[in-house]
């Protein structure tokens, strides 16, 4: 059950180093077995299934699997942001815009405080 949860919560990705869309390499890396054997199994299935059913499943898997992150994900916040970016780029950009706006407001408050007439530079610098 734990591995099943990891598949749908950010563990199974299409590899960026794969040959054709990175599906075989992504599955092999996730289940920790040889990429050669994953590709061999898919190739044998291609030959014995008449090509089209397995080709269709392969491309559907490529469409459903998220691409591997460029930078490895280390925290839960990074995973949440990556998932939101992959599924909703507009939502991710809105979140970045809100974060930027909050930082901008904080900087403006700091500038206002420091440039106010009441701010005592002599006392702050001599302390």
What is the per-residue pLDDT for 118? Answer: 67
Domain edges within the chain: 1-72, 88-127
- Alpha-carbon distance 36 to 39, whole Å? 5
**Which of the residue ranges 91-95, 102-106, 117-121 has the most confident prediction, judged by mean pLDDT?**
102-106
Encode pLDDT of 41-99 as tens digits: 888 888 888 778 888 888 888 888 877 766 777 788 877 777 777 777 777 778 888 88
CA dihedral sign, ordered 2, 86, 58, 43: negative
- Given a cut of 60, whether residue 10 has pLDDT beyond it is no
Question: What's the average model confidence in pLDDT over 8-35?
Answer: 80
State the Cα torsion 2-13-75-77 to the nearest 10°. Answer: -100
Whether this prediction's pTM lies above 0.75 is answered by: no
């Amino acid at each position: 059950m734990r591995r099943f949860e990891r598949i749908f919560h950010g563990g199974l990705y299409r590899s960026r180093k794969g040959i054709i869309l990175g599906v075989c390499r992504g599955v092999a890396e996730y289940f920790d077995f040889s990429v050669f054997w994953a590709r061999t199994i898919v190739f044998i299935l291609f030959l014995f299934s008449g090509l089209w059913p397995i080709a269709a499943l392969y491309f559907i898997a490529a469409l459903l699997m998220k691409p591997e992150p460029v930078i490895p994900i280390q925290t839960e916040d990074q995973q949440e942001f990556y998932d939101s970016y992959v599924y909703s780029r507009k939502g991710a950009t809105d979140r970045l815009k809100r974060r930027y706006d909050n930082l901008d407001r904080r900087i403006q408050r700091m500038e206002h405080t420091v440039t106010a007439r009441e701010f005592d530079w002599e006392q702050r610098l001599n302390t």
